[in-house]
């Protein structure tokens, strides 16, 4: 017998996207719509591909998102699966556990939501599939969380559904920490994991798989996004393939400007970097974070005119496609090392500025400036600003000044 099921996770429906810096409401709206579009694509693709069931390994919603209409949207989508005869197996992740709205949501009868109190097994008799799973009750996960999962059912295809960061993936809070070996010991055929937003096949014996989230929401979540299509033949998993579902995409582009000086060649390099990023967008709306790197004598000018260059890059992006948007431009170039006189009296302005920029009194000035603006902004908004060192600000200020003279 041969059939397919879909493994998805981390839908985070209606979770806001990172700022695009777009004054144009059209650009922002396109990206905002992408989140729900990806969910709809998941349902449509699941039905169209003839999959027998859908597994969602947690974090359907965002933790602090209370809007009931989001839940209703999801329920409507599951209703479509129900009508198409596709069953859904769902666990709550850490975000869902926190979510007030999801607790009261009425799912269609064909949706199986795993309990929180203990591990639970759901059986699909006709396919001889046993799904083992457990939802998060709240943020705090008991130490023996995994221990509650049942023994595999012999002769059946055993699938474990778990929301975990495994052994603490970088950049993520540890949730239900465990190792691949811990999972392997269960003797399941497939571990359908959620929580990590980057897709990865952690192991093939047994299969331990993160499908990643279905829609990138910030410049940290670049590249194609979607779910995993798993093919089972005679009770064995024979293929695990990614299924691309995202409706908009994020990319990081780097323009290497080493040795480039004049504006025309710099613009060409930017154009080339954007074109390369855009080529990876598969025709989807694209938000690009562009970073300029390399050692160039144009560094100071780039610093001084960063905003003009950002607008220029946006214009170049629009030339590639009307939905190719440059989210931001970061000037990370550096100036060639210059012979700098440290005699402040010698009218060597670059030297004078370099020396002054290292002055502790000036670094104190910067700290005061940072504090004065940080105090006026809403909490959390200026974290990135505060994260830079005063020395870094000092050198950027110097470069700006050199470029502005």
Instruction: Compute, in degrees rounded to 10, the torsion defined by CA atoms 385, 387, 389, 395.
Output: -40
Part in contact with another protein (CB under 8 A); list of ranges 80-88, 90-98, 279-287, 339-347: 339-347
Task: Work out whether 391 is an interface residue with another protein (CB under 8 A).
Answer: no
> How far apart are alpha carbons 122 and 235 in whole angstroms?
16
Instruction: Give 290-332 as a DSSP string.
Output: EEEESB-TTHHHHHHTHHHHHHHHHHHHHHH-TTEEEEEEEE-
Enumerate residues 280-319 that contact another protein by CB under 8 A: 307
| For another protein, the closer CB: 116 or 390 | 390
| For another protein, the closer CB: 69 or 181 | 69
Answer for which of 276, 315, 385, 391 binds another protein (CB under 8 A) is: 385
Alpha helices, DSSP H, located in 185-281: 263-279
Part in contact with another protein (CB under 8 A); list of ranges 61-69, 199-207, 226-234, 248-256: 61-69
Answer for which of 179, 338, 389, 391 binds another protein (CB under 8 A) is: 338
> How far apart are alpha carbons 376 and 358 in whole angstroms?
27
Task: Work out whether 373 is an interface residue with another protein (CB under 8 A).
Answer: yes
| For another protein, the closer CB: 238 or 367 | 367
Q: What number of CA atoms fall less than 13 Å from residue 7's CA on the CB side? A: 32
CB of 160 to another protein, least distance (A): 31
Enumerate residues 165-224 that contact another protein by CB under 8 A: none
CB of 372 to another protein, least distance (A): 5
Answer for which of 47, 101, 202, 252 binds another protein (CB under 8 A) is: 101
Whether 287 and 20 have beta carbons less than 8 Å apart is answered as: yes
Whether 297 and 337 have beta carbons less than 8 Å apart is answered as: no
Answer for which of 28, 39, 185, 295 binds another protein (CB under 8 A) is: 28
> How far apart are alpha carbons 56 and 41 in whole angstroms?
14
**Cβ-Cβ contacts under 8 Å for 209 (sequence gap 6 or more):** 7, 190, 191, 192, 193, 200, 201, 202, 228, 230, 240
Task: Work out whether 66 is an interface residue with another protein (CB under 8 A).
Answer: yes
CB of 122 to another protein, least distance (A): 26
Task: Work out whether 68 is an interface residue with another protein (CB under 8 A).
Answer: yes
CB of 243 to another protein, least distance (A): 24
Task: Work out whether 369 is an interface residue with another protein (CB under 8 A).
Answer: yes
203 beta partners: 208
CB of 362 to another protein, least distance (A): 5
CB of 92 to another protein, least distance (A): 16
The dihedral sign for the CA sequence 152, 136, 195, 114 = positive
**Cβ-Cβ contacts under 8 Å for 69 (sequence gap 6 or more):** none
- Output phi, psi for 227, to 5 deg: -130, -175
**Cβ-Cβ contacts under 8 Å for 53 (sequence gap 6 or more):** 5, 6, 86, 87, 88, 89, 124, 127, 129
> How far apart are alpha carbons 3 and 340 in whole angstroms?
71
Task: Work out whether 376 is an interface residue with another protein (CB under 8 A).
Answer: yes
| For another protein, the closer CB: 295 or 374 | 374
Task: Work out whether 32 is an interface residue with another protein (CB under 8 A).
Answer: yes
Q: CA triplet 326, 277, 381: central angle to 5 degrees?
A: 40
| For another protein, the closer CB: 238 or 373 | 373
Whether 22 and 67 have beta carbons less than 8 Å apart is answered as: no
Answer for which of 129, 209, 292, 397 binds another protein (CB under 8 A) is: 397
Task: Work out whether 365 is an interface residue with another protein (CB under 8 A).
Answer: yes
Answer for which of 3, 37, 40, 73 binds another protein (CB under 8 A) is: 73
The dihedral sign for the CA sequence 383, 385, 386, 387 = positive
Answer for which of 17, 61, 136, 186 binds another protein (CB under 8 A) is: 17
Residues across the chain: 405
Task: Work out whether 265 is an interface residue with another protein (CB under 8 A).
Answer: no
Residue span 34-53 as binding mask against another protein, x where in contact by CB under 8 A, dash where not: -x------------------
Residues that bind another protein (CB under 8 A): 14, 16-22, 28-29, 31-32, 35, 66-70, 72-73, 100-101, 103-104, 307, 328, 338-339, 341, 343-349, 352-353, 355-357, 359, 361-362, 365-366, 369-370, 372-378, 380-382, 384-385, 393-394, 396-398, 400-401, 404-405
């Amino acid at each position: 017998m041969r059939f397919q099921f879909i493994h998805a996770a981390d839908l985070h429906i209606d979770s806001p996207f990172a700022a695009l810096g777009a004054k144009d409401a059209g650009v922002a709206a396109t990206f905002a719509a992408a989140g729900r579009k990806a969910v709809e694509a998941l349902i449509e693709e699941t039905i169209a591909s003839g999959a027998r069931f859908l597994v969602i390994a947690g974090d359907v919603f965002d933790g602090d998102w209370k809007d009931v209409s989001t839940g209703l949207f999801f329920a409507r989508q599951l209703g479509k699966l129900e009508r198409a005869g596709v069953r859904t197996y769902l666990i709550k992740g850490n975000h869902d556990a926190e979510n007030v709205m999801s607790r009261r949501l009425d799912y269609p009868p064909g949706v199986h939501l795993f309990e929180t109190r203990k591990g639970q097994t759901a059986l699909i008799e006709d396919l001889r599939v046993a799904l083992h799973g457990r939802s998060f009750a709240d943020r705090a996960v008991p130490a023996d969380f995994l221990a509650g999962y049942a023994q595999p059912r012999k002769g059946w295809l055993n699938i474990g559904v778990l929301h975990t960061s495994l052994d603490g993936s970088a950049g993520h809070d540890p949730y239900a920490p465990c190792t691949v070996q811990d999972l392997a010991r269960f003797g399941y055929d497939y571990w359908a994991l959620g929580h990590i937003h980057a897709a990865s096949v952690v192991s093939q014996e047994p299969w331990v798989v993160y499908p990643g989230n279905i829609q990138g929401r910030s410049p940290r979540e670049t590249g194609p996004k979607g779910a995993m299509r798993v093919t089972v033949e005679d009770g064995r998993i024979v293929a695990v393939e990614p299924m691309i579902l995202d409706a908009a995409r994020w990319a990081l582009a780097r323009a290497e400007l080493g040795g480039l000086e004049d504006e025309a060649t710099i613009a060409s390099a930017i154009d080339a970097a954007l074109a390369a990023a855009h080529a990876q967008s598969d025709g989807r709306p694209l938000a690009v974070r562009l970073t300029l790197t390399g050692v160039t004598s144009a560094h100071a000018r780039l610093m001084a005119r960063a905003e003009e260059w950002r607008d220029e890059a946006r214009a170049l992006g629009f030339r590639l496609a009307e939905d190719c948007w440059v989210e931001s431009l970061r000037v990370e170039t550096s100036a060639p090392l210059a012979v700098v006189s440290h005699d402040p009296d010698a009218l060597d302005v670059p030297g004078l500025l370099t020396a002054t920029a290292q002055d502790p009194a000036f670094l104190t000035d910067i700290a005061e400036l940072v504090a004065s603006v940080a105090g006026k902004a809403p909490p959390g908004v200026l974290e990135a600003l505060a994260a830079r060192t005063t020395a870094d600000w000092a050198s950027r200020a110097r470069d700006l000044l050199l470029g502005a003279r």
